[in-house]
Each structure stands twice: as C-alpha cells, then as structure tokens.
Amino acid sequence: MTVSPRTPPGVLELLPREQIAHQRMLDTIRRGFERFGFVPVETPVFELTNVLLTKSGGETEKQVYFVQSTGSLGKGLADGEKPELALRFDLTVPLARYVAEHEHDLNFPFRRYQIQRVYRGERAQKGRYREFYQCDIDVIGKDTLSLAYDAEMPAVIHGIFQELGIGKFTIKINNRKLLRGLLESLGIAVEQHAAVLHEVDRLGKLSRDEVSQRLAPLGAAGVLDKLDGGFDALAGHVETAGNAALTEGYRELGEVRAGLRALGVPEDDVRVDLSIARGLDYYTGTVYETFLDAHPELGSICSGGRYENLAGHYTKSKLPGVGISIGATRLFSKLLELKLLGAEQASTAHVMVLQVEAELAPSYSQIATELRTAGLNVELYASADKLAKQLKYADRAGVPLAILYGSRERDAGIVKVKDLRPNAEPREHDVPRADLVERVRSLVHTR
C-alpha cells in the first residue's frame, strides 16, 4: 500500500533545473543587498501568536497559519482561544519584534536584509501562493532617519534588477505626504482621501478617462491634471497653495530625487510618478513600486516605503524606517513563464567525469579530485553504465564539459574533453594529461 506522493496545494516546488535558476536569482538579490552593506537576519518560521497578532482581527488574521504540537492538539482550544504559535505572514512584523527584542545589541541605523519564506492561508488559486519567498531590506533609525536612505532603496533594487537581466523596468517613487497635502490643497476632505487614491491607483488598469469619470463624483476631477504634470510642474502649486504636508512631501521627494542622482541611478529607470499611492495605513512618506515596462499586467514586482515607527507594539522607542521588498516566488514564476529567466542547467557541475572503463575507476576519482582542488565543480559518474547512457545523463543535466579517459587515452598520455554546450566548436579536445586542469579551467571560463 503506497501513499500518493504529492505536495500541498499553493506551494511552488521546483525541479532541479528551475531550482538552480531560482537559487541564482536569490544569490543575485543577496549579493545586491550586501553590495550596499546590508546585514543578514533570519527569524524563526513561527512566532508566539500574541506577539505576531498585535493588531486585533482584520484580514491578516484570517490568513494566518497556526502551529500546534501533537500534545497541545490533544488538549483542544477553548472558544476563541488561539494556538500558542503561528507562522509569519510577512517579514515586517518579525523585523519589528527582532529590533525591539534586540534593541540594545543592535547598531543603529540598523540595516538588515532578510530572505525567507512567509506563509498565508489563502484559498489556493493560480498565482497565489501559501508559501513564498520575500526578500526585504530595511533601514531602521533611532528617533530619526535621514532621507538619504530613502534614495538608497531604489538604488539597491536597480542594481539587482539590472543584474538579473529581466528587461527594462521602472521603479516609480512618490511621497504620501505630498499626496495627502495635494488632495487637501484641492479641497478634498480627509475622509475622501482613501477613496480618491483608490481610484488613482487604477490608472494602470483603466484608461485615464475612466479614472477621471470615477473621480468626478468624489469632487476630485482636478486631481489627475495635477498628477499628470509631474514633479517639476507641481512647483508652482506648492508655492501658491501649499499646506504643511504638501510642502514637506514635495521637499522630501525632491531630496530623494537628488539623492538618486548622486548615486548615479539613471533617471529613466527610477522616476517620480505622482500617481503611485501604495495603500494607506502603513507608509507615511516615500513610497515605491516597480514595473516591468513590457509587462505592466504583472503589477508591482517590488514595493515599499517609509514608515514613521516600526515597532510601536513592542517598544516605546521611536524607530522610523524605510524598506522595500521583492516577492521572489511570484516574480520567479512569472519570469520563467515569460522566458525572461533562463533555466538551462540541471547541474551545478562544470565538468562530468565519465566512467569509460571500470578498471580505470581510481583514475576517474583522481581526475575529479584534481579538478575540484583547482576550484571547479565536478561530478563523478560512478556507475559502470554504458557510455551512451552516461552521455545522455550528462546532456540532460546540461553539464558544459565531459571527460573521457580510456586505456587508449591513458596510453597516449591524453584526456578527451567533450564540449557538450550547444554549438561548441570544436566539440572534442585531446588534452595532454598534464595540462588537463589548465585547459578545463580555460574552457569553462571562455564561454
């Protein structure tokens, strides 16, 4: 009696070929984070429920996964009682808990990156995951935090997306204070702000006319004109009709723009877009969204912003911060679907040493060890299968080079190196035994 082997719905489990590509993507992201001196943090997959769910009720709690050991399962729960542990649903709440818990051991401004999976008990549906990677960076200040860090966020992401080579993208930045102040300056009541911004947010999906029609009944028909004009055109309005929020937001956004310029980020790739609103509650200043120019239908692939106080639920210290997050699992699966990410290699090896004659097995081990010592990744095919089967295996794995060494080669003092890469020319190299390491190294690195 066997059990059908299957994964739960709503997870992305990859075959080696895709897993290698996925790991390459995470490596690139991590390298990009470290290039700017962010330090790694990992938190446990579960938190104490009462620590994780400080905000009562709401959408989040409906999606939380609770964790129970066998023992506590037996005991049952009183009505309304929750299990002691719950899986993290994002990396922001764990960061808040981490910073508050370790506040006195951390170096502020605290710059952490975190690349871990998060969990949401969503209804399984295409493109929605119950388990997915988030890759977050945040800079947390104590009491204050310079606006220069707001400029750094898109610079980090710009470097990463460039290195990933996923085509032209645009990081759009805006400022929530500016938006609030602008609506206020146009006489729109505070109670209407959420509804107005919600409509503005549809600009990617609906036409400008449609959005304009939806804004009219809210008394906000004039908003789009102001937003369309862009940052520079707004100067006059700020001058004449500026309230405190508009003036401050405008100044902040200008400063962030100048910071980006100083960091050498191309203005065409990271742009002010006054129509970016990015939710309402959490972010209080700069906000970011990122789009693939050729695929706006994906929505924002990397978002974030500035917040006033990270950990008010856990500490009385004021901890302002700014952060940005890549939803790596969804991004990965989309990029793969669009063939914007390659997944050619099903192997981590540069070279495969084949078993031409079983009696020469010790030589194959020696050759493999020599190449490994030189820093190459080498797979030793250790079963005495037919050579055709071995070559098929090497080919399926996408290994660049195969090494064939039989008694004929041994007697001639050479090693045959087969280049398995498509369009390799020449396909075979007879390499003197003593030159093997050097030649293999140069073959690996020349393409």
x/- map, 360-379, its own copies, by CB under 8 A:
-xx--xx-xx--x---xxxx
Identify residues 173-202 at the interface with its own copies (CB under 8 A): none
Contacts to its own copies from residues 40-79, by CB under 8 A: 40-48, 50-51, 54, 61-71, 73, 76-77
Residues 4-23 that bind its own copies (CB under 8 A): 4-8, 11, 13-16, 19-20, 22-23
How far is Cα 424 from Cα 34, in angstroms, rounded to an integer?
Answer: 36
User: 3-state SS string over 147-208?
Assistant: CHHHHHHHHHHHHHHHHHCCCCEEEEEEEHHHHHHHHHHCCCCHHHHHHHHHHHHHHHCCCH
Calculate the dihedral angle through the C-alpha atoms of 192, 196, 198, 204, rounding to the nearest 10 degrees: 180
Listed ranges 110-118, 175-183, 193-201, 204-212: which one lies at the site for its own copies (CB under 8 A): 110-118
Q: Using the rule CB under 8 A, is 391 a contact of its own copies? A: no
* Residue in 29, 87, 245, 287 binding its own copies, rule: CB under 8 A: 87
Judged by CB under 8 A, the residue of 25, 28, 82, 272 near its own copies is 82
Residue 144 interacts with its own copies (CB under 8 A)? yes
CB atoms within 10 A of CB 45: 16
Q: Does 89 bind its own copies (CB under 8 A)?
A: no
Site string for its own copies, 148-167 (x = CB under 8 A): xx-xx--x---x--------
Considering only CA atoms, which of 104, 62, 115 is closest in space to residue 86?
A: 62
Residue 409 sits at the vertex; the CA angle it makes with 404 and 412, to the nearest 5 degrees, is 155
**x/- string (CB under 8 A) for its own copies, residues 244-273?**
--------------xx-xxxx---------
If the CB atoms of residues 59 and 411 are measured against its own copies, the closer one turns out to be: 59
Does position 204 interact with its own copies (CB under 8 A)? The reply is no
Q: For residues 43 and 212, which CB has a smaller minimum distance to its own copies in the complex?
A: 43
Torsion over CA: 332, 333, 337, 338 (sign): negative
Sole residue written with tokens 């690139």: 28
Which backbone phi and psi does 272 adopt, to 5 degrees? -70, 130
**Residue nearer to its own copies on the CB measure, 159 or 305:** 159
